Structures are given as C-alpha cells and as structure tokens.
Amino acid sequence: MTTAINETTIAAAEGARWWRQRWGTLIAGYVLASLVGIACAEYFRHAGDWDHGLAWERGLLVRIHTPLPHVLDSLMLVFPWFGTNISLIPAVALVVTWLWMRCRERRFAVQLAVVQIGSYLLNPTLKAMFDRDRPDLFPRRGWYGWSSFPSGHAIASISVLITLAFILHRVKGWTWPYWVLLPIMCASLYSRLYLGVHWPSDVLAGMLIGLVWLGATLYAFRE
C-alpha cells in the first residue's frame, strides 16, 4: 500500500511539474529573439540596397543557383516542407498529444508546444515589421509567401526540429533523430537560397532568431 501511494505521489508530482516552468524566461526569450530579428533587419537595411540585395548576397545566390542533378533538384522542392509551419504544426500537434498521453513528464509536451507556438508567432510578427522584397535574380520556385525577411523556415528548422530531436532523445533514448532531422534542417535552409525565395541575410537572421528562441526554451524547461 505504501509503495502504491508513493508511486502515485511521484507520478502526480511529475505530471504537475510542467506547470512550474519559468514562464518569465520564456517571455524574455521571445522578446530577445524579436529584438535580434529587429537588430539584424536594421543592420542589413543600412548596409546596402535592402530590397534588391547586398552585393555579396546577389553574388552568392548566383553561385548557389547552379542547377543540381534532377533528383537533387526535386528534393530541393521537398525539403522546405520539413521547415514550414504549414506542415510542422499538425505534425507537432500529434507528437505533443503522444507525449502528453504517454510520457510521465508532461513538461516535454508543453516544451514542444511552446517552441512551436513561439516559432509560429515570431515569423509573421517580424515580416509585418519589415516588408522586404524577395530576390528577383531568377524565377522563384516552391512555396513562399509574404515578406522575404526573415526566413520562417530558418526559425522553425532551428528551434522546432532541434527541440524535437532533443525531446525524443530524452524520452526514448533515440539518437537517430539528430542524424535524420539535422541534415534535413540544413537541406531546408540551403533550399531557400537555391530556389531563389530568400536573400542569404533572411536565412542568417532566421537562424539567429531560432537559436535565441531555442536557447531560451531549453533554459526555461531545464530540469
């Protein structure tokens, strides 16, 4: 009887722990990520022709745009779907539901949900502030929408995919998510330049924003 009571108490404590996370840290992290995005935008806006790309950006895009073999070229159209909120949100919702139902530490479910929500909100907020034209060097391919700055794919790929790999490793002990998701993340980032839908500074800024948001959430949900 004592053992059963202790196990029930421990389980209840583990289940309630997610509610006592550092929500102030998450708010501060979101604000900091937004400020990093604003700082990047202001820096690049004052470094040259914002809407038509800086000289180094135009040169880099021309070099990257060298056509790949047909199979790799086709994959470049697929990889972005691993880093867009259109496909990430339903996939993350399924994983969050699974973690909530199956995992004793529900904080992992909350952590993944918070990271996804923050990633989703950061992108349109900053796009609304900086209405940057997309590259015009060659026809754009694949899915894209609204302002060029920042790259929402970069924000989501860095913060959501790394968090997903981290949580699966903690919960199941799997290391394969790192070996699968990290290459997909890199390919997704590269594809945004290859397909001509983002300036390199859009992707760099998105990566920095995603890293700040990722760091803030990892710190807030630490044990």
pLDDT in tens, 135-181: 988 888 877 778 889 999 999 999 999 999 999 998 888 899 999 99
- pLDDT in the model for residue 5: 43
Give yes or no for a contact between 167 and 115, defined as CB atoms under 8 angstroms apart: no
Encoded amino acid at 216, one letter: A
- pLDDT in the model for residue 17: 55
pTM to 2 decimal places = 0.87
**Average pLDDT value for residue range 77-95:** 87
End-to-end alpha carbon distance in the chain: 29
The DSSP string of 19-72 is GGS-HHHHHHHHHHHHHHHHHHHHHHHTTS-TTT--HHHHHHHHHHTSPPPHHH
Question: What is the residue-averaged pLDDT of the chain?
Answer: 86
**Average pLDDT value for residue range 24-36:** 94
Q: Cβ–Cβ contacts within 10 Å for residue 145, how many?
A: 10
- pLDDT in the model for residue 21: 59
**Average pLDDT value for residue range 78-95:** 87
- pLDDT in the model for residue 198: 92
* Among 154, 170, 167, CA closest to 212: 154
d(CA 147, CA 127): 5
Does 8 have pLDDT greater than 50?
no
